[in-house]
Amino acid sequence: MMNKTVVIKEFGGSDQLKIVDMPAGEPGDGQVRIAHKACGLNYIDVYQRTGLYPLSLPQALGMEAAGVIEAVGAGVTHVKVGDRVAYASMPPGSYCERRVMPAAQVCPLPDEISFEQGAAMMLQGMTVQYLFHRTTPLSKGDTVLFHAAAGGVGLIACQWAKSEGITLIGTAGSDEKCQLALDHGATHCINYTTENFEEKVKELTGGAGVDVVMDSVGESTFEGSLNSLKPLGMMITFGNASGPVPPFNLAQLGAKGSLKITRPTLFTHIGKHEDCQEMARHLFSKVISGDVKIVIGQEFALDDVTAAHDALEARRTTGSTILTV
């Protein structure tokens, strides 16, 4: 059974993405084989393609997808052949027609959620779940600064915050993107191309600053993010779309108000089977209830994966992006 798969043999630009035919194989102990219906596209895929997050080469890319279980290996009890499923998981390899992979992070997908939504929501939605529920205590009335608020993670975060009574101040790179964030529940949104977000945050909070910053942009926003926190505030840096944060003096955290900082990853949080399944159920409940709507801004065919990466890197995307199989 041959299987169209996207791989890289060298790190570099989107031209390194190659489509090859590979055998799908049979699942071993603790594994399943999934026939994909749609695959998710995320900025971590770019980091892996460029070598910012090094991988052993050659390597298939992609971290999430949704589809139907075709075969189940020994010891797998939480899903069976014919089940609808979705996942975000290491190792990479979801840009393909079908895949044999570890079953622990594969989650039953409720009938109320489409394959396209499932492929678009797992990595980004469970990221929001751990940001709001597993990283630092957040309560109704708290204020969060969220960068890239019109992206896939951002639009979920805007809705999540609104559903829990949390004030979310977003940033985005255009008035149109700011309006999109506002339409999805952001309390305020700052166009960072026309306003200094640090100054605007101080204005919006009466000089107090925010309780938490959630920053996936990295180098270009890091200093301003720290300066936007109130004393004892928490800086969550969970990505680096503008480049990695350079080394900095930890004494800054004391000087700026005994700040806290953490650099979490989704894959630590979903590392245990039971934690992953619980996080996924929480996400699914948010979507089924209508608190969170999954916005798929772009769809590309698997064969057009190069164009999809180009659009993502050029910041021409809003919401989530998927590859259809």
Q: Tens digits of per-residue pLDDT, 11-26?
A: 999 999 999 999 989 9
Whether 293 shows a pLDDT value over 80: the answer reads yes
pTM above threshold 0.85: yes
Q: pLDDT averaged over the chain?
A: 95
Predicted confidence at residue 315, as pLDDT, reads 82
Q: What percent of the chain has pLDDT over 70?
A: 100
- Give the pLDDT confidence of 216-250 residue by residue, as tens digits: 998 889 999 999 999 999 999 998 878 888 999 99
Q: How far apart are CA 253 and CA 261, in angstroms?
A: 8
Give the whole-number percent of the chain exceeding pLDDT 90.
Answer: 89
Confidence band (pLDDT; 50, 70, 90) for 285? very high
Range with lowest mean pLDDT among 52-56, 113-117, 138-142: 52-56
Q: Count CB-CB contacts under 10 A for residue 42.
A: 26
295: pLDDT confidence band, cut at 50, 70 and 90? confident
d(Cα 145, Cα 174) in Å, to the nearest integer? Answer: 17
**DSSP letter string, 159-202:** HHHHHTT-EEEEEESSHHHHHHHHHTT-SEEEETTTS-HHHHHH
Confidence of residue 76 (pLDDT cuts 50, 70, 90): very high
Rounded CA gap, 306 and 142, in Å?
40
Q: Who contacts 287 (Cβ-Cβ below 8 Å, separation ≥6)?
A: 112, 113, 117, 121, 125, 293, 294
CA distance 297 to 302: 16
Please name each of the domains of the chain with its CATH number.
Answer: 2-124+267-324 (3.90.180.10), 136-263 (3.40.50.720)
Specify the pLDDT at position 5.
Answer: 97
